[in-house]
Each structure stands twice: as structure tokens, then as C-alpha cells.
DNA sequence: TCAATTTCTTGAAGTAGTTCAAGTTTTTAA
DNA sequence: TTAAAAACTTGAACTACTTCAAGAAATTGA
């Protein structure tokens, strides 16, 4: 049931069977249809989401009214707005499923008590978030140093299967160019 | 001596006097001259750096040979390459002081034993890195939604004092435009 | 205190991307 | 099984920036 999450956790720390029980008792699986929102701009983000199955994204609507994806999350990834979560401030982001999803939503109060009961989990979340921060830095590096076409090919090489899973216009915005330009890159017209 | 770090830690967790002693025994202050490197591209990053005084930056040299700053760190900020640190892989980044600095460098092995002696510190680093990740997401949002001029004015409004501390060309690259364009924005010639 | 170095400025020419508008293809759902 | 909706494509016109080159100003250090 939650094995994917337990496996992920045990990559970084070792849980006792009793701790697994405690954890298990706190978790529930949500099935969420494609295109549903887990978080809307302006709401305070009160949950962490762990994707068991499917794909979600974090996006904004820019001043021209166009959606721009800032982050994707697939199986075994956490997604949330940590700034809104920690500061209890309205979020600047939407979080939405891109496919039908099975996910674990952990509420702030649940997580806080879990972290007290199983302090080792602090370590797990520390390592995961430090690695995520590192990945965000690499993302900024790629945005800074590569042309649109290079970003497309690079992403395509690194994530060939993933590219098939999401609409091109979402990927275009994630790579910071227009859907039209993506089309031209793919057609070799650039 | 290390009070700035203790104060920062105690914003998030409460340390016993005995824990402060343990921590204190592990720390040393380094004085580092302006423009010295804490990390070079290609090296494995084995340290976390906490800035007590001064300013440092993380940057890359792009394919055209131009430096681009990805991140600044001033007083009470941690700076490192978490990806290199966790994966023991060569870093893609340089970390360099921008001003004469006083900083605390914690080596990986020291930090690991500290985290075992004072498990509460896991929580501190978790919260700090989750917030940093949140800040990185906001940074990407600004890069995506604002024009060069908007990014400059926004940054200037949010950090008027900081803008005085670093050369314009570094700030220009941090905001992802050329030093020449920065000059034109400031002169109102755009 | 002054020479060297670093940083900043300016204008002209070039370009990697966007925007718009319209049409085509693919997917979805009843 | 088909109509509606969503996603993708195309070309033409445009623009927000870059690049280059050269000079001016500010900062640094001996």
C-alpha cells in the first residue's frame, strides 16, 4: 500500500517495525483525478504530497494569463509549497495533477506529531529537501546557460519517458519558452 | 563568537546549554579574504558554510566564459552545493567570497557526528533547507514572469542595502541579464 | 598618491526568442 | 461514434534582449 513511501524513506534512514506501524496509522491514500487542484494560488499550503502514482505539477498564471509550470513531480517525489507551508502565508502557486494520481497527503499537524514520535524522520526530510534544493540550483544553471533548443534536447535526453507523459505546452513552459517555439524546435524549423 | 549561529538555530529549535557546548567545541571561525574560493567547479563539496560576516556567492562560468551568479549569501545564511555534498560528485559550481568574510565551515564528517550527538539539529537543517527550497522556487517564478527591468526594480525594492554591496555585473548576472543592459536600465535608457 | 585594475557606460548592429492568428490534429467524453 | 475540447503547427511581424567595441569612472594596493 504505502510501500513506495517506506522504501523511499529507508533509502535515507532505517525505520523500526514499530515506527512503520505508527507511520502507517497516520497515512491515507487519496485518489485524485487528472487536472484537479491540490493547492490554489492565495491558499495557505497545509500539506505535503507524496506521489505514489501519476504526475502533478506546480504552476503559476503569468501576467498575460498564460500558465507556466515551475515543477513536475512523478512517482516517489514530494511536492508542496514550502514557503507557504512554513510561513503560513498565501501561496503564489497552483499545484495540480497532470494525470490521475494516487498520492499521500500529509497535513501539517499530522506531520508535526509524526516528527515528534519518530524524530528520525527529521533526518529523512532534511536530506530530501537538501537534495531538492540542490536540484533547483541545477535547474537555474540550465536555464541560465543553455539556449531554448539546448534545454529541450538536454531534458529530452535525461527524461525521454517523462516527455511522453505531459502535454508539450506544459513542458515548453517548464523549460521557459513558448509552446509555438517548442513546435518549431521539434520540427527542426529553428 | 558564534552567537549569530546559535541565535539562528534557536529561531527553530531550543538547545540545552550542554548542547551549545558540544556544538561550540566543533566550530571554528575562518576569516577569508575577498575573492577567495571556498569551492571550485569539479571539486567535491565537503563543507557547509555559514556566513557570520560578509558576503559570498555561488557562480558558474558559462560556455562563453562569462561568470553568472546563481546565489548570494550574506550574514546568517548557509551556502554550499548540496548535490555535490550528498552525492559526493564533482560540483558544477564555484563558491567565492564577494567581501572579506568571517564564516563557519563545517565539514561533512563533523556535521554527521554533530547530528548524531544532537539529533535536534536535523530539525534545524530540515527547516532551513525547506525554506531555501521555497525561496528557490520563488526565484524561478520571478525569472519566468518578470522582464529584466521588472526583475531589477523588484530586487532593488526588496534589497536596497544589499544592492550597494555587490558589483553591478554580479547582480546583473544573478537577475539573468547582461551587465550592459543593467547599465541601461539604471540610466533609464530602456 | 598614482598606476593598475576593476567596474561601469554608451551606441550600433544583430538575434533568439515571442506574439498573433489561423488552421490542423489528437484526445476526451457522452 | 461523433461532436466538442484540448493540444499542436505554421509563417510573418515584432521586440527584449545580447554582443561588440571603445572609452570613462571608480576602486585598489604598493
- State yes or no: pLDDT of A65 exceeds 90: no
- State yes or no: pLDDT of A190 exceeds 90: no
SS (H, E, C) chain B: CCHHHHHHHHCCCCCCHHHHHHHHHHCCEEEECCCCEEECCCCECCEEEEEEECCEEEEEECCCCCEEEEEEECCCCEECCHHHHHHCCECCCEEEECCCEEEEEEEHHHHHHHHHHCCHHHHHHHHHHHHHHHHHHHHHHHHHHCCHHHHHHHHHHHCHHHHCCCCHHHHHHHCCCCHHHHHHHHCCCC
Q: Which helix (H) or strand (E) holds A16?
A: none
Q: How far apart are the first and last CA of chain A?
A: 47
- State yes or no: pLDDT of A63 exceeds 90: no
Are the C-beta atoms of B165 and B98 separated by less than 8 Å? yes
Which pLDDT does position B46 carry in this prediction?
Answer: 98
> What chain A residue is nearest to B12 in terms of C-alpha separation?
A86
Q: Which helix (H) or strand (E) holds A74?
A: none
**Class of residue A116 by CB neighbours under 10 A (exposed 0-12, middle 13-18, buried 19+):** exposed
DSSP state of A152: H
Q: What is the pLDDT along chain B (190 residues), one digit of tens a residue?
A: 889 999 999 999 999 999 999 999 999 999 999 999 999 999 999 999 999 999 999 999 998 889 999 999 999 999 999 999 999 999 999 999 999 999 999 999 999 999 999 999 999 999 999 999 999 999 999 999 999 999 999 999 999 999 999 999 999 999 999 999 999 999 998 7
Interface test with A, best of B59, B136, B178 (most A CBs within 10 A): B136
Ordered strands of the B78-79 beta sheet: B29-32, B101-107, B47-53, B78-79
Is the CB of residue A148 inside 7 Å of nucleic acid strand C?
Answer: yes
User: Please, which pLDDT band fits residue A168 given cuts at 50, 70 and 90?
Assistant: very high
In B, residues 128-167, which contact A (CB 8 Å cutoff)?
Answer: 129-141, 143-145
- State yes or no: pLDDT of A100 exceeds 90: yes
Report the C-alpha gap between B99 and B103 in whole angstroms: 11
Report the C-alpha gap between B101 and A8 in whole angstroms: 39
- Residue among A70, A83, A131 whose CB faces B140 most closely: A70
**Where are the alpha helices (H) located in A108-158, listed in sequence order?**
108-117, 120-145, 148-158
Residue with cell 495533477: A97
- Hey, are the CB atoms on A134 and B82 less than 8 Å from each other? yes
- Hey, are the CB atoms on A126 and B131 less than 8 Å from each other? no
B169 nearest nt, CA–C1':
C7
- State yes or no: pLDDT of A189 exceeds 90: no
DSSP three-state, residue A153: helix
Q: Check if B81 contacts A (Cβ < 8 Å).
A: yes
Report, in angstroms and rounded to the nearest whole number, the Rg of chain B calculated over CA atoms: 18
pLDDT tens-digit readout, A75-88: 999 999 999 999 99
Report the C-alpha gap between A85 and A98 in whole angstroms: 22
Are the C-beta atoms of B133 and A132 separated by less than 8 Å? yes
User: Please, which pLDDT band fits residue A158 given cuts at 50, 70 and 90?
Assistant: very high
- Hey, are the CB atoms on B68 and A132 less than 8 Å from each other? no
Which pLDDT does position A59 carry in this prediction?
Answer: 97
Is the CB of residue B168 inside 7 Å of nucleic acid strand C?
Answer: yes
Q: Which residues contact B63 (CB under 8 A, 6 or more apart)?
A: A145
**Class of residue B82 by CB neighbours under 10 A (exposed 0-12, middle 13-18, buried 19+):** buried
Amino acid at each position: 500500500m504505502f510501500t513506495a513511501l517506506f522504501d523511499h524513506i529507508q533509502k535515507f534512514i532505517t525505520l523500526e517495525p514499530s515506527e512503520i506501524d505508527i507511520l502507517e496509522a497516520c497515512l491515507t491514500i487519496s485518489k485524485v483525478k487528472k487536472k484537479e487542484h491540490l493547492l490554489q494560488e492565495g491558499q495557505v499550503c497545509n500539506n505535503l504530497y507524496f506521489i505514489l502514482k501519476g504526475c502533478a505539477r506546480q504552476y503559476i498564471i503569468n501576467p498575460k494569463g498564460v500558465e507556466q509550470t515551475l515543477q513536475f513531480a512523478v512517482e516517489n517525489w514530494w511536492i508542496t509549497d514550502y514557503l507557504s507551508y512554513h510561513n503560513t502565508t498565501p501561496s503564489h502557486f497552483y499545484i495540480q495533477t497532470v494525470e490521475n494520481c494516487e498520492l499521500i497527503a500529509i497535513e501539517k499537524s499530522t506531520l508535526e506529531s509524526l516528527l515528534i514520535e519518530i524524530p528520525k524522520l527529521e533526518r529523512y526530510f532534511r536530506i530530501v529537501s537538501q537534495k531538492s534544493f540542490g536540484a533547483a540550483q541545477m535547474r537555474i544553471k540550465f536555464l541560465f546557460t543553455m539556449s531554448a533548443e539546448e534545454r529541450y534536447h538536454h531534458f529530452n535526453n535525461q527524461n525521454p519517458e517523462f516527455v511522453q507523459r505531459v502535454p508539450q505546452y506544459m513542458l515548453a513552459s517548464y523549460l521557459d519558452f513558448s509552446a509555438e517555439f517548442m513546435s518549431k524546435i521539434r520540427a527542426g524549423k529553428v
